[in-house]
Amino acid sequence: MMATHPVWQYDEFKQIGTDYESVEEVARYDKRMSSLRNIDEECAAIIELLDLGPDSRVLEIGSGTGEFAIAAAKQCAQVCAVDISQIMLDYAREKAISRSVNNIQFARAGFLTYDHDGKPFDAVVTQLALHHLPDFWKAIALRRIWHMLKDGGRLFIRDVVFSFNVDDAASYLDKWIDGAVAVGGERLGQNIESHIRDEFSTFDWAMESLLRASGFSISRITNQDNRTFAEYLCKKV
């Protein structure tokens, strides 16, 4: 049973930006991601980076259409895949069944509401999801993750994070939108516009402070050339 939360708690179940409670949007997202990303390579790199193996227990938050959870479940003892969208969870569960993977526990919950009562996790992974929370709530989310990890456990984050100077924001954001239109058409460009306007991507310096204040050391930061994506490999200290 999900715990009750104070009335002032941020409602992480409301959809912001893209509506992931729409069956059509979720199918479109899955198709788009498989054409824009090399998913198998990405998943293998994260599994290697986190040194996941047959005994590992992993939590993924914002698991989306299930690609990472399924790849990790093939290598690990147990994967918990958490997402606020029931449609995403149903889609990922179907995909796992179709690939004969049966050691994933799916849960409808999020960064602020997932309650873990088992053994601490070896690793937590979250990709393209933390930006759904404003910065104050990102800190709460990161500290909740810290509590769910074993000592020395690893956190991998990949997200839209801005590493340009504030004064250069407009030119980098315009370039990002133009690049998206070039590879994915007008619709992807509109998704990027609504991401910037309606979602909560933050600056790299804010993200680094949030991670350290939440009790993590940052082992590796990788920024993309366009300065709109970053990856963080962190350790619970």
Ligand X SMILES: C[S@@+](CC[C@H](N)C(=O)[O-])C[C@H]1O[C@@H](n2cnc3c(N)ncnc32)[C@H](O)[C@@H]1O
Residues that bind ligand X (CB under 6 A): 12, 20, 33, 61-64, 83-85, 88, 110-111, 127-129, 132-133
Between 136 and 237, CB nearer to ligand X: 136
Closest CB to ligand X among 115 and 168?
115
Which is closer to ligand X, CB of 38 or CB of 165? 38
Least Cβ distance, residue 112 to ligand X (angstroms): 6
Considering only the C-alpha atoms of the chain, give the largest distance between any 2 of them, rounded to a whole number of Å: 50
Report the nearest approach of ligand X to the CB of residue 167 (Å).
28
Q: Closest separation between CB of residue 125 and ligand X, Å?
A: 8
Query: Taking a C-beta distance cutoff of 8 angstroms, is the pair 188, 114 a contact?
Result: no
Q: Which residues of 80-97 are buried (b: 16+ CB within 10 A; e: fewer)?
A: bbbbbbebbbebbbebbe
In the chain the beta strands, taken as DSSP E runs, fall at 57-61, 78-83, 104-108, 121-127, 149-162, 202-203, 216-223, 229-236
What distances in angstroms separate CA 177 from CA 11, 48, 142, 231, 236, one per listed residue? 28, 32, 29, 20, 35
- In the complex, minimum distance from the CB of residue 121 to ligand X, in angstroms, rounded to a whole number: 15
Pick between residue 17 and residue 120 the one whose CB is nearest to ligand X.
17
Give me the amino acid identity at 50: L
CB of 221 to ligand X, least distance (A): 18
Query: Quick one: 35 or 217, whose CB is closer to ligand X?
Result: 35
